[in-house]
Structure 1
Amino acid sequence: MLAESTEVAAVMLSKLDVTRAADLLSRLPGDVARRVTFAVSQTDAVTPGAVDRIGLALAAQLNDMPETAFNEGPASRIGAILNSTSSTLRDDVLTGLDAEDQAFAEQVRRAIFTFANIPARVAATDMPKVTREVDQSVLVVALSAASAGDLAEVAEYILSNISRRLADAIREEMEEMGRVKTKEGEEAMTQVVNAVRRLQAAGEITLVQADSEEE
């Protein structure tokens, strides 16, 4: 749409179903959207032959696009990998990216989803689904480690949004467990994060969009 003339964009928009056309229009910059919608008012005289020629030209352009090996962009791919690494390695990689390309490093940061992001990104109503996806013994280790460090608020968010009976049982196990080794805690928290990602990929939950993040 952005690469075509306003008139061609107006014809394209007019041939789409209403729902898809509205979605597409909402993605355009405001000034472009206004020009295209005005141009729609000028399409009464467009002939079926002209529409066919425009459609064929657009289809040819799509066919000329080279195949790519990856479905997602590089920032998303690196973010997904770093989701499953230790926080130390993740911080080291991001520091290195900052030195090489600060703008790309920021894109990777927005693509990363970690245990600390759970309160902001996972709806309270989805927490029971997440906890059911994780073995309770793993959940106890993850929450124990989080509670003992800087992630106590995350642990409390999870416990506050599951059934009271399950939360009480987990709290009791946490008290009995005592201190958790850092590595074991990180591995358990990574399993919780991976559970969130699996549910998101399966369409079971939808992550809340982070500020300034682009999906």
Structure 2
Amino acid sequence: MTGAEKSAILLLYLGPEATAKVFSHMDDGDIKRISQSMSKLGHVPREEIAQVVAEFTDITNPETGFFSQGEEFVKKILEKALGPLRAETLLQEIRTSGIGDMADILSTMDARTIANFFSQEHPQTIAVVLAKLKPKQTSEIISLLPQELQAEVVIRIAEVDQVSPEILAEIDEVIRVELTALGGVQRFKVGGVEKVVDMFAHLDRSREKKILDKLDTMNPPLAEVIRKHLFTFEDIFKLDDRAIQSIMREISNDTLTLAMKTSVDEVKDKIFRNISSRAAEMIKEDLEVMGPVRLSDVEKAQSEIIKIVRKMEEEGKVVIAGRGAEDVLV
């Protein structure tokens, strides 16, 4: 028996209360492995129980052993240990884990080989598979896809949330004909804007701009959401003082004051250091007397400032490195 199988037998024997306590101290990977073993155990003979929990053999039925509750047992203990949302995510992966994990195999393959293979596939199929990969590999593959496919795939990665086992099985069947060594694809949580933002972090600026420009035409709301996540209001104040001073000159005091309503003291202090003392005093006074405001109004003001910064970057007035290099003003 494997370690996961032994653990599964022991925890099934101890029951849901003890199992939940144990799971609450384990990471998702170990929980998945043990839960998968629990789901597959079925009837456990007395002899196997004795190997794992020999000290309890005197209270175990020597003829029937016990019969695992399978997925229902796993669901109860996962929900108790992790809460319903995290438990459901793990259960979704466990249910089809026997098919195999394509991501592990693709992670060892050359990005160009994968891109060439997927270049004739439907964008939705590409998105589902690439969403499982690490952001860096996803970005490499997308940058090698035909130009007309890149934005299409990005849209679908952002929009897809979870994929049913049936759809994954269909996708697996289509691609296994040409890549028989890959095996299947297990159910998993995929996609979302966060996945796209992580992927964009590994793209160069020119490639990012081309894809976003295309998204502006194909799906403007999505393009706006991605831009908002790529560069936040707080990120502006990670730039050096010269860059911040240049940006502040383009922003009205009213917009800046509203945008600062929810800012932490560190951000406020950096703003005040990079504007005139008179402007700083006016904004401080306005903030003190400002009553409650809608969060949506604050976010709108921050978005306006972000747009100004993005425009300044496109015009070459500010360079936002933020990806391993220093932020500089040119």
Which TM-score applies when normalising by structure 2? 0.32
Which protein has the larger Cα radius of gyration, Structure 1 or Structure 2? 2
Greater RCO, CA 8 A, separation 6+: 1
